[in-house]
Amino acid sequence: MSNTDTSESVYVPRSLTVRDVIKIVLPDGSRGGRRWDLVCEWPPDLFAAVASITERSGLYSQQMFTSCWDTEFECKDAWIAYVRRIGQKWADTDSPPKEVQVLWRNLIRNYGRASIDDPSPGALPWKKIVFELLVIADEACAGIGFLPDSADASAVQYAVYADYVEWSRRSSINPNHVGGILLPHLPVSLCIHVPRGLLCVQPKTVTPAVGCTLRSLTHNLALLPSVGNVRTSWFPPVDTRKHTEPFNILVVPFPFSIPGRSFLPVVEKFPAGDRVFTLDPDKWMNRDPSGRPTGVSPRDFADFLHGLIKVAASELEPVHAIVLPETALRLEFANEVAEILAADTKLDMLLAGVLSDHDGSRNLAAMYLLRNKRVSQRWFQSKHHRWCLDGGQIRRYHLGHVLDPHSKWWERINVSDRACYIASFRSYATLSVLVCEDLARYDPVLTVMNAIGPNLVVALLMDGPQLEQRWPGRYATVLAEDPGSAVLTVTSLGMVDRSRNPGDAENREIALWKEPNGAARMLKLPKGNHGLLLTLTNRLVEQFTLDGRGDGEMTMQFALGAAHGIAHPDPPTWLGRIP
Amino acid sequence: MAISRQLTDLLEENLSKVNAPHGYTALRDKLMQSKIAPKPDSAAPAIKQSPENSLKLDE
């Protein structure tokens, strides 16, 4: 270069290569040992690597994988049979099949330096390899996360369930314990060599029937964000009940009335002037203080629920679960109610919105699984987004005498601990819970809902009437379409009543049901009743990935079979005025 | 998440009713071997759940 050379050096951005992504996802090597030339031994590890490439490259949208009319279409019957066979072979052995090893070696040696964002036809060869590895890894994990069936359990499925047993043994001593004997990240990820601080892999239940995404390409595995973003825990089923039995849920829209003074302004303000409020469940718990000067005990509340269960059982079917709306109870109170119900009833599940004073006040969904007269499992899922009451809502709920309608008011709750729980409550059925705002905000929990596709999503709300055209109905419809979950939203009669103007006709829509391929059903609480008994029927249906692979009718789909109002024969006075 | 010992027993009971598939023992042994690989430079931090989820179930 001469002294008079005036050429500028131009920064050339570095491309991200196939090998880069593999080394990021598997930083210590595909089998540990800081080597990447051999394919992962564990299918979820391979899935994490190739799914990351698939997502970042967008290769899932290529015509050759998704468009049966395309001349280059790959996913014909013979190909589907082939990937199934290889996946099944891997699921039943201790080593990846030779075909998988060859594909990986080809990818690393010949295409390791390929840019993952290369859209040219020259990238198609490595995209085909990645796609095939993705599908094979998914097929190898059929049934993962569920109880193996004696007749056709695979080694992979059995190994995962066995490790859940090991993890649960340790977790019963230390609830913060992570890892079984084989899988170091249980219950937050199925991977071995993929850091959970980068991403996680979990089982999934529903394959979206619409859309073209990575999620549409898998039946058995879901790619999830890091535990730092949202910590998702999957728990396998203990209930081996046959899937044909209906599932009966008693929705109790407590509290039935909510005094305005339950909303308490807080002194602190945000710098921009927004205000803060808290909720006081004590204000609505005992609406007859002169008649119940000692207050309402967990036994009183459990007896009230038990009374409803008895009415339901004597007239209709057994009750499997009770659902209470957002912030219905205080956490410690709910814990005791759950213990009493476990001892006195045959209930399987109590799902309640609770308020906790731990850690600066949390708004939580509490899930109690009841078995053999005890609470056998319990978790609390935080609400992740604060409720913002603006002037419109303050007027709608007639709270202008306690909260200034000219200010914005934020719910004073701790929204850290971003966690989401997925529980299998029947042989092939999973359930997850959302609290209010989480139904409407995409991050962090709806990304998990979309990826895993719980068969049933229950949204606990403190909201007005559950009308299809209102926001819960709209978001429930979105979830029912993609990923295809059945959604039940539940609110309290007290909030429904607060949203009514004096003299207007009553609204009584305390719940809304939306199932895939079905219309939304608004569920009203009949006058004089205290609960709604919903019967969910279920059937196994076949779902298909975008590339045409069916799942052999392994997907549980719920439908609302019946709804009955339930009236307590002798409602306690502490319930207060029931609209 | 809090789990009772009773639930662990139930999981184990469920598993005992299923015959371990042919390839399970070899797979388990192979995966155990992978834990002998050199330790990573930085171990994953412990997971700390919310205070409510960190409480054991009374038994």
Q: What is the DSSP string of A412-432?
A: -----S-EEEEEE-SSS-EEE
Chain A's closest residue to B14, CA to CA, is A238
Give me the pLDDT at residue A76, please.
84
Residue A43 touches chain B, beta carbons under 8 Å: no
Question: How far is the C-alpha of A114 from the C-alpha of A123, rounded, in Å?
Answer: 7
Residue A304 touches chain B, beta carbons under 8 Å: no
Q: Which of A55, A27, A68, A321 is nearest to A194 (CA)?
A: A27
Residue A39 Cα, gap to closest chain B Cα (Å): 13
pTM of the complete model? 0.94
Residue B9 touches chain A, beta carbons under 8 Å: no
Q: In this complex, do B1 and A155 lie within 8 Å of one another by their Cβ atoms?
A: no
Question: How far is the C-alpha of A450 from the C-alpha of A446, rounded, in Å?
Answer: 6
Q: What is the CA radius of gyration of chain B?
A: 17
Q: Which of A497, A479, A568, A486 is nearest to A325 (CA)?
A: A497
- For each successive 10 residues of chain A (579 residues), what is the average pLDDT? 57 91 96 93 97 95 83 84 96 94 97 95 95 97 90 91 94 91 95 96 93 93 95 88 84 96 92 92 86 87 96 83 97 97 96 90 95 92 95 96 95 92 88 93 90 96 95 93 95 96 91 93 96 94 92 92 94 89
For chain A positions 183-202, those within 8 Å of chain B (CB to CB) are 184-185, 187-188, 192-193, 195-197
Q: Which helix (H) or strand (E) holds A377?
A: strand A374-382
Residues on chain B touching A34 (C-beta within 8 angstroms): 38
Give me the pLDDT at residue B35, please.
63
Beta strands A555-566 and A531-541 are antiparallel
Question: How far is the C-alpha of A481 from the C-alpha of A485, rounded, in Å?
Answer: 7
Q: How confident is the model at residue B40 (pLDDT cuts 50, 70, 90)?
A: low
Give me the pLDDT at residue A1, please.
45
Q: Does the N-terminal peptide bond of residue A187 adopt cis geometry, omega within 30 degrees of 0? A: yes
Question: How far is the C-alpha of A439 from the C-alpha of A491, rounded, in Å?
Answer: 13
- Which of B11, B26, B46 faces A168 most closely, judged by CB atoms? B11
Give me the pLDDT at residue B41, please.
59
Give me the pLDDT at residue B49, please.
82
Residues on chain B touching A187 (C-beta within 8 angstroms): 1
Give me the pLDDT at residue B26, please.
93
Give me the pLDDT at residue A549, please.
92
Q: What is the CA radius of gyration of chain A?
A: 26
Report ipTM for this prediction.
Answer: 0.91
Give me the pLDDT at residue A77, please.
87
Strand ranges (DSSP E) for A496-575? 509-514, 521-524, 531-541, 555-566
Residue A169 Cα, gap to closest chain B Cα (Å): 6
Residue A385 Cα, gap to closest chain B Cα (Å): 16
